[in-house]
Amino acid sequence: MKKTLTFLVVMLLGWNIVISIQLYRVSTDKSSNQIQTTTTQGNVQQARVEINNDVTELVQKCENKVVTVTATLRNRSIGSGSGAIYRVDGKDVYIITNNHVVSDGDGAIVTFANGKEIKAEIKGLDEVMDLALLKVTVDFDAEAFTMADSSLVKKGEYVIAMGSPLGIEYQGSVSGGLISGVDRHMEVDTDNNGVADFDVSVLQTDAAINPGNSGGPLINMAGELIGINSMKISAEEVEGFGFALPINEVLPVITQLEKEGKVIRPILGISVQEIAQLTSFERSYFDIDKDIDSGLYIMKVTSGSPASKSGIKSGDVLVKFDGKACTDFKTFRTLLYSKNVGDEATLTINRSGKEKEIKVTLE
């Protein structure tokens, strides 16, 4: 009996030692990953955890490719936005931003992620697409974004926006979200007369885009530039409605700005009025056929223009452009600007109640 009790006591002592060793190891492992801070409330443990994931690595990869653009007028700051490094040629750095970021000034200053501020040359502006190209010469190594193919962007794809919302003090801010829609169209009024002049294709995202983000990059998870953040819908009942110009639409404009300093778009040489906007008196005065309820009434044809050379006359009604209905001026301008100088377009016109097709070479 005594031998049995002695054996049990020895076993219990051994088991107690094993448990004590295990508890000590667990305690040691936890303490290696924690800071113990004593407060009036007792001991507070703070974990030493360093988070690294795909997004943090993406931000580190891209942040030096994003700049702040400050517009100046007579050497005074009048506003700021963001920009994306588009191309690097030796020490010359080319930066994309929005036209509205710099158009009200006579100069611009670019601030890089390393804090360097450099006066920029404005290579060209395009009011129609709201784009501008800047050039600066640097004394350090700069890196440009890889341009994506924005036609491959999918709804639901995760993206980040980078820039300087509300000013340079928030330079390098990052917001993230999804592509909410592709191939959206926003109306653009270039002359601020309250009437839309044409539609521009945009990517819709719920990534936060605030004043100051304009001109900055919208970036996919491969670190590629898929768009230039340009606008948002601001209303009390609206949240997360931002828009970026797809890079496929941006690059042809930027290429022309770099080469020509401006974008050369085709002209047709006609002045028009929407049929739907004419009063019954005006329809009668212009002798417009009663069966025509849509289209563009051609008020004037410029002498020597492509329209004049092809035989289009005042009083004709433009019904279709390359087979697509022209019900308003916005649609007509959008279709016209989708063409290049030298392209041929087929116009369907109604003349004296009869439709005919006329081919025009745009200039």
Q: What is the 3 state secondary structure string of 150-167?
A: HHHCCCCCEEEEEECCCC
Total residues found in the chain within this entry: 363
Q: Which amino acid makes up residue 14? A: G
**Is the distance from CB of 53 to CB of 160 less than 8 angstroms?**
no
- Residues with a catalytic annotation lie at 100, 130, 214
